[in-house]
A and B are shown apart, each in its own frame.
Chain A
Amino acid sequence: MHVFLLRRIGSLVVALFVASIAVFLLVRAVPGDPARLLLKNPTPERIAAIRQRLSLDRPLPVQYWIWLKNALGRGSFGESIVTGRDVKEDLARTWPATIELSVVALLIATAAGVWLGIFCARHAGTWKDALGTTISLVGLSVPVFWLGLLAMLLFSLQLGWLPAGERGGLDHLILPALVLATIPAAFVARVARTAVLETLGQDFIRTARAKGASERTVLYRHALRAALVPIVTMVGVEFAYLLGGAVLTETVFAWPGIGRYIATAVLARDYPAIQGALLVLVAMVMIANFAVDIAHHALDPKLRR
């Protein structure tokens, strides 16, 4: 376990390093003068200043080193072209909103998905299975932003039950979290259904049944535990999905998170903001995947040695 942990931490660090190079190179890949791309009102003096500060006349590796030192040391990616504030401040304001939304959506998606998957597997071959499978297939095919618009139309504008967007109390969180959870829930349901069906056909389940265990015990104690590994692996993929879906969901619900921040930044070609937000989002996904790998390792007896 220790060797595994160390190796996994090593690969996390390497991946973050590669990601930071990619994010740095992004602005250099855009046609045009990087000094102009990084400034709001590029006057000759300000261009000269930023050239000096980022050492744009030095070789690329040196430039990268200076950029990384700025990003890590002072947490500074420069000034946002749109808001005029330090990107660091914008990110500090937006990331908790995104984490709040995606963690709640992750919980909903996993619970709903696992429940639907077990439901389908239990009634395999019947109309209930067909209904559940159809629901999850449709759930995979619906564009999140449209679902968000419809949910807003129905629950806030027509019925007036819930507020239409923006961050606030728990009532503000319900709609966006449910909408964001839809696609991952459908995904988890499909994986869970297959995994549970597979384990239900195995000998140890027959043994449990022969011992007289109730159907409930067989399902939740025996089958679900064995099916847990593929489901946990899915959660990592899910989180990447969620942060991607957050870009759209946050835009629809005017949720002040990193997703909406990066969407507006890309639209405005606000490169300092894009770089900062990208790095934070990528770090979130990688850390989540890291956590999932550790959990996977702890859960799978085949890997525990």
Chain B
Amino acid sequence: MKHRNSLLWIGSTMLTVVILAAALAGAISPHGPTEQIYRDFALAPPSWTHWVGVDGVGRDVLTRLLYGARATLGIALGATAIAVLLGTVLGAAAGVLEGWFDAAISHATDFLLAFPSILLGLVALTILSPSPTSVAIAVGIASLPTVVRQVRAAFVSESAKEYVLAARATGAGQWRIATLEILPNCAGLILVLTTLTLGSAVLEAAGLAFLGLTGQPDVPEWGMMLREERSTFRIAPWLCVAPGLAITWTVLSFNLLSDGLRQRWR
């Protein structure tokens, strides 16, 4: 009991830090994320005025990290919204309707699950033009098959339970059964899937940004910061350490939350 609470506790505390950083970036930092006012201090190591140092073109790295939380959380939220909303609708429909629709959805998800998800993201980005929005869409699509499969499985197993049979016996339609009877019982699973997808979306978006596919260089994103600072990491390694820590911290917070939620709902 104590253990399961601690996972949720640590996870939500860690996540709160990230959310605060994103929300208060402007208030915390006296600098702007793209201001190059410290050119004379380029590649300066961490100090009292610049806690994480200054990057190669004279921008304060801590400021960029704080604003980066915005970009990262924004992309992850967008991607997860796409994956979870669309995934729940498709998975639920497949689980309840059965027949050819179910067969088509199941085969499509099986097929897509064979692809490494970063590859799906890459493919989506060859069609879309590179931008943070495209990355969110690409990552959302890449996360879709997992959500569909899990939601479908849950709906199929719930459909056989007595409360659903009872509802069906009273003459409730498919739509009513799916939304009013089964969906509330799958809320826990969907919440777990949401936190899990948020974590993997952060990782994946950072990966795509690291490959240089986010496009706009004026948006500080952690993966892109790593890409930019790679060239100087022999002389200024702290510039590379910081964004990676930020990514790990955020993903870990989501993974802890999802583990905690899973145990609570079991």
Q: Which of B116, B122, B123, B210 contacts A241 (CB 8 A)?
A: B116
Which residues of the partner chain B approach A146 to less than 8 Å between Cβ atoms? 226, 240, 243-244, 247-248
Q: Which residues of B, 95-117, contact A by the 8 Å Cβ criterion?
A: 111, 113-117
CA distance A142 to B118 in the complex (A): 15
Residue on A with the closest CB to B252? A141
Q: Check B179 for interface membership: any CB of A closer than 8 A.
A: no
Binary contact readout A276-305 vs B (1 if CB under 8 angstroms, 0 otherwise):
001001100110010000000000000000
Which residues of the partner chain A approach B226 to less than 8 Å between Cβ atoms? 143, 145-146, 149
Binary contact readout B119-133 vs A (1 if CB under 8 angstroms, 0 otherwise):
100110111000000
Q: Which residues of B, 209-266, contact A by the 8 Å Cβ criterion?
A: 210-213, 223, 226, 230, 233-234, 237, 240-241, 243-244, 247-248, 251-252, 255-256, 259
Binary contact readout A237-257 vs B (1 if CB under 8 angstroms, 0 otherwise):
000111111011001000000
CA distance A150 to B230 in the complex (A): 11
Which residues of the partner chain B approach A267 to less than 8 Å between Cβ atoms? 211-213
Q: Which residues of A, 8-43, contact B by the 8 Å Cβ criterion?
A: 15, 18-19, 26, 29-30
Indicate if the CB atoms of B252 and A137 lie closer than 8 Å: yes
Closest Cβ of chain A to B231, distance in Å, is 11
Indicate if the CB atoms of A278 and B123 lie closer than 8 Å: yes
Q: Check A167 for interface membership: any CB of B closer than 8 A.
A: no
Q: Which of B116, B122, B241 contacts A240 (CB 8 A)?
A: B116
CA distance A271 to B127 in the complex (A): 10
Indicate if the CB atoms of A289 and B213 lie closer than 8 Å: no
Which residues of the partner chain B approach A263 to less than 8 Å between Cβ atoms? 122, 211
Segment at the interface with A among B44-52, B147-155, B164-172, B199-207:
B199-207
Residue on B with the closest CB to A267? B212
What is the number of residues of chain A that contact chain B, defined by CB distance less than 8 Å? 42
Q: Which of A150, A245, A262, A269 contacts B241 (CB 8 A)?
A: A150
Indicate if the CB atoms of A282 and B114 lie closer than 8 Å: yes
CA distance A268 to B51 in the complex (A): 36
Q: Check A192 for interface membership: any CB of B closer than 8 A.
A: no
Residue on B with the closest CB to A183? B203
Closest Cβ of chain A to B104, distance in Å, is 12
Which residues of the partner chain A approach B251 to less than 8 Å between Cβ atoms? 140-143
Q: Which of B114, B212, B244 contacts A15 (CB 8 A)?
A: B114
Q: Which of B115, B211, B247 contacts A266 (CB 8 A)?
A: B211
Which residues of the partner chain A approach B114 to less than 8 Å between Cβ atoms? 15, 240, 282, 285-286, 289
Indicate if the CB atoms of A244 and B241 lie closer than 8 Å: no
Ranked 8 nearest A-B pairs via Cβ: A244-B116, A146-B244, A141-B251, A141-B252, A244-B118, A240-B116, A263-B211, A243-B116
Interface residues of B (CB under 8 A from A): 111, 113-119, 122-123, 125-127, 199, 203, 206-207, 210-213, 223, 226, 230, 233-234, 237, 240-241, 243-244, 247-248, 251-252, 255-256, 259
